[in-house]
Amino acid sequence: MTRKTRIAIAGLGFGAEFIPIYQAHPAVELVALCQRTESKLEKVADHFGIAGRYTSFEAMVEDPSIDAIHINTPIPDHASQSVLALRAGKHVACTVPMASTLNDCVAIAQAAEDSGKNYMMMETVVYSREFLYVQHLRDEGLLGRIQFMRGSHFQNMAGWPSYWEGLPPMHYATHAVSPVLALLGKPAASVTCVGSGRISDELMARYGSPFAVESALVDVVDSDVKAEVSRALFATSHEYVESFDVFGSKASFRWAATEAGAHVLHVDDVPQPVEVPDFAAMLPEEIRPFTTSGVYSEENEHLSFIQGSGHGGSHPHLAHEFVSSIAEGRPARIDHLVAANWTSVGLLAHESASRGGEKIHIPAI
């Protein structure tokens, strides 16, 4: 029998959602949790019966019994913690984005190469039921030739931790970037971006970015297809939307205009509402229920669920892909190279907007 992968989770806000998934996964032993606030650590670990408990990430990575670490900590910690864990010989899964600078993306990629361990960026959209549905349409030839794509992510970050305040919209762009690049199966080559509107002086002072909205046009390697990506975080009134549209020669998929509305498939010139199916059958039976339920509920809410509706059932798919890549000795689908490209699109898009829309080449990492 293959030994189970021994996993630890760092960060127990959004990260708590993955605890019961890993506990139920037949190929995983969840052995430890890490949280800086000891009272929260004890409460969560007691609730789920987890023996391994750390308030120090640095101490946790030195534990020889841990094979892999799933990082769900604040964005500013992603790069340093990913590199530290990889250098300590751990496989790493990390919530988005990979990092906040190109240099940090390079550092993570180098650490993954040097260590020979798996790195996976846990991008939710490309495991959402909507993406899996459109991917199926693509694979069956029902879309025809993809002609154009659009990704959007509008979110009100009021009430979130202070490190979000004034964050350039494109620095957190992977939810909008990933579906368009993943459907083409190719990396981005360059990006042109413009900023629009203005946030308050108080918010702007945090990162020096004035833009309420950033909108980019992405060129794709070896493709004549372009993708448009739009992103907003502050001072823009709109219901939460994390969406993508795909325009094909035979059919086009349009995301619902409101969360309560219906997605639409345009076949030739005829629109028809579609009910996107769940794809739990792709998963081991033990974790299938988690495409529609989890830790967070109306009684026990987290901001990602209040605004994001549970990320389209993606969480067990992400966990399963990470675990499977380790067990099968192959790169994860969103490995260090893919993650670096998707993250770099946003980072360089903001740089482009800051330069008045200059076209910027995305370096290979």
Q: Where are the domains of the chain?
A: 5-123+300-333, 126-285+344-361
pLDDT for 294 equals 65
> 220 with 184: CB under 8 angstroms?
yes
Can you tell me the distance from the alpha carbon of 61 to that of 87, in angstroms, rounded to the nearest whole number?
9
Q: Fold for 5-123+300-333, please state it.
A: Rossmann fold (3.40.50)
156 pLDDT more than 60: yes
**Sheet containing strand 119-121, strands side by side:** 52-54, 28-34, 5-10, 68-71, 91-94, 119-121
Which DSSP state fits 284?
A: -
- Please tell me the pTM assigned to this model: 0.95
Q: Taking CA 225 as the corner, what is the angle to CA 220 and CA 226, rounded to the nearest 5 degrees? A: 70
Share of the chain above pLDDT 90, in %: 90
Give CATH superfamily name and number for 126-285+344-361. Dihydrodipicolinate Reductase; domain 2 (3.30.360.10)
H or E element in which residue 130 lies = helix 129-139
Q: What are the pLDDT digits (tens) for 236-279?
A: 999 999 999 999 999 999 999 988 899 999 999 999 999 999 99
Give all strands (DSSP E) within the chain, no chain letters. Answer: 5-10, 28-34, 52-54, 68-71, 91-94, 119-121, 146-154, 188-196, 213-220, 226-232, 241-248, 251-254, 263-267, 270-274, 360-361
Can you tell me the distance from the alpha carbon of 57 to that of 38, in angstroms, rounded to the nearest whole number?
13
- Mean pLDDT of all residues in the chain? 94
152 pLDDT more than 50: yes
At 174, which amino acid appears?
T
Q: What are the pLDDT digits (tens) for 302-351?
A: 445 444 446 899 999 999 999 999 999 999 999 999 999 999 999 999 99
